[in-house]
Each structure stands twice: as structure tokens, then as C-alpha cells.
């Protein structure tokens, strides 16, 4: 459901990572200082905007499975 809503309704592009490409949310935020992203990490979604991630707890050490890019 998340994938369909993000791609169809909000026009985000989904990028799936291979197992050896997976990095942490913190590493991803540092590597992407510009842009809007929604990242998925095992049952959890996190928003990253211009290099800062927004979550209700510090999920920075969690590995990303895939992400959506605006």
C-alpha cells in the first residue's frame, strides 16, 4: 500500500537497495544533503529532507531497505 500511495498519489520514485548497498538512515541523510526522501526500514518509515531525518525516536542506526525520492 505504501508503495502505491507514494508513487501514484505523491509522485515519488521508488529506489530498492540490494543487500550489499544498504546503509543507515544517518549515513543516507549525510550522503544526501539536498532533496526530499521517505525511507523504509523494516516496518518503519522515516522522512529525510535536506540532510535531516525526522522521526519520533532516533532511528539513525537502522538500515534502509528502500526509499522514495521526490
Please report the sign of the dihedral spanned by the C-alpha atoms of residue 12, residue 51, residue 65, residue 16.
positive
| Cα-based distances in Å from 21 to 18, 28, 35, 43, 57 | 5, 11, 20, 19, 24
pLDDT digits (tens, 9 = 90+) for 9-58: 999 999 999 999 999 999 999 999 999 999 999 989 999 999 999 999 99
Q: What whole-number distance in Å separates Cα of residue 70 and Cα of residue 59?
A: 21
Q: What is the pTM of this model?
A: 0.89
Burial class (CB in 10 A: 0-12, 13-18, 19+), 1: exposed
Amino acid at each position: 500500500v505504501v508503495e502505491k500511495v507514494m508513487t501514484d498519489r505523491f509522485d515519488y520514485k521508488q529506489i530498492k537497495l540490494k543487500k550489499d548497498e544498504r546503509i543507515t538512515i544517518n549515513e543516507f541523510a549525510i550522503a544526501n544533503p539536498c532533496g526530499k526522501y521517505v525511507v523504509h526500514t523494516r516496518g518503519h518509515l522515516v522522512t529525510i529532507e535536506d540532510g535531516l531525518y525526522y522521526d519520533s525516536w532516533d532511528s539513525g542506526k537502522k538500515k534502509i531497505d528502500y526509499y522514495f525520492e521526490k
